[in-house]
Chains A and B, each alone.
Chain A
């Protein structure tokens, strides 16, 4: 039995790394992605360099994305999920469900005419984000007049490439593959669950992810409430990590918080930045030097806040326990950033059930001891943060590792 096809589920950075290595090793790869675009979270992050690179690795992402898109042996299926599987190691048959593609990403040339002519408000046709790959428009089913049964055909008539098809049906297809890599990634902890910190209630309480996206889009930081430059900023560590229900360290938050803190200080030297923490995770290549620099300009306070309240002025009053000063304390900030951690994908249980792979104590997919890519099912491997928190570099390395294991399986079968 010879099958030189591999399936990678999830086109985030580790799935992309896996797909590239599999394809470079000579295999044909199906890379399927639940969302409409590939790249995952990392694609929406921002560079955190000041006048020098601070090694956040975000710049590695766009190039890998471009490489995967143009690789001749990789087929990408977006808007797709796995719904069933049969067969075994070396010869899996995987059922893939693809949502209706009202606008075909293969035919859309992103000219934007459809969005221009769309008569609804807000538009039913959404323009892609600047970093989106594939770079194509998408249709909001709930807004579209045609899909609501009305007789509107404006976008389809005007589309120069006939990319729009209202009759598009969800597609089920069966892929025959020798090996599978699961790279479904993580979800960001929903900070609303820690209600006392006021996320989504107060405009000036943001998460680390919000900050990534703000810097990516705007290039600098403004207060959401009034557009002014914040002067007193607090970072709160371990939001959604290292507690009873998330008994692990998310590995990335201390580093991104410190990098952001330095970036904010770089852009606005007068800003006062405080980081509230339990334990600082400062190990890692080159980070020691960076941490020493941070100590000079950033205030570190041991202890995390219990509550954040908004004063009538819009300022945020934070109640925290400063362990060093042995007493409860209050302080006022313009902006509070919650350093949210990584949690398992909500639908990972469904995928685990379909594939027959185990879920570990923390809710991430379970790997074998001493080999974090191997699952309980032969021929199915794990890559990246679906197995547990990792930063971008570790995710890439993990993706490469999974690819290596999967290649072994297929070469052995040959």
Chain B
């Protein structure tokens, strides 16, 4: 396992963030290539354990990307995800990984710039860690 490369995992809701990622690609909006997208049916599917496991594997940043607040097809998926991300942040702080390295992001299917911006921001954050 190589711990040198700073990988980021982005869990992307198929209703919004996953589509945004495609749009960013189509628009050739380039972003750091250390991000790995995992498609999920709803941000609410992402569990604490998934995020922790990613860190165990040497990933240094995790983004949970779901729909806008108030626009979750499953009503509470994105808000539950947000709570879970917050909780995971606390768990990670306990093991000495600073909080900013897990983040909940709310996106609509057209927000390619926001998507790229969030990834760049996370990439910069882990550079300077």
User: Interface of A with B (CB < 8 Å)?
Assistant: 45-47, 49, 51-53, 55, 58-59, 62-63, 128, 130-131, 135, 215-220
Contact = CB atoms under 8 A, between A and B. Distances in A.
B62 to A, nearest CB: 21
B39 interface: no
B92 to A, nearest CB: 24
A49 B113 contact: no
B88 interface: no
B110 A216 contact: yes
24 contacts: A45-B110, A47-B68, A47-B111, A49-B68, A49-B69, A49-B71, A49-B108, A53-B70, A53-B71, A55-B70, A58-B108, A59-B15, A59-B16, A59-B68, A59-B109, A62-B19, A62-B109, A63-B15, A130-B23, A130-B26, A130-B112, A215-B110, A216-B110, A220-B113
Nearest to A132: B26
B108 A59 contact: yes
Given A52-B69, A53-B69, A46 B113 contact: no
| Chain A facing B: main interface SS | loop
B79 to A, nearest CB: 11
A62 B112 CA distance: 14
A218 B113 contact: yes
Contacts of A220: 113
B43 interface: no
Most chain A Cβ neighbours within 10 Å, of B68, B70, B108, B110: B110
A59 B114 contact: no
Contacts, number: 56
How big is the B interface, by class? 10 to 19
Contacts of B109: 47, 59, 62-63
B110 A58 contact: yes
Nearest to A215: B110
A219 B112 contact: yes
B115 to A, nearest CB: 9
Most chain B Cβ neighbours within 10 Å, of A46, A49, A51, A63: A49
Nearest to A63: B15
Contacts of B27: 130, 217
A45 B26 CA distance: 17
Contacts of B114: 219
Contacts of B113: 218-220
Interface in B71-129: 71, 106, 108-114
B19 A53 contact: no
Contacts of B23: 130-131
Contacts of A130: 23, 26-27, 112
B9 interface: no
Contacts of B71: 49, 53, 59
B67 interface: yes
A55 B72 CA distance: 11
Contact of A47 (B15, B26, B69, B110): B110
A389 to B, nearest CB: 23
Given A130-B23, A130-B26, A131-B23, A53 B68 contact: yes
Nearest to A51: B69
B17 to A, nearest CB: 12
For the complex of A and B, 8 pairs with smallest distance between CB atoms: A47-B108, A219-B113, A53-B70, A53-B71, A130-B26, A49-B68, A53-B68, A130-B23
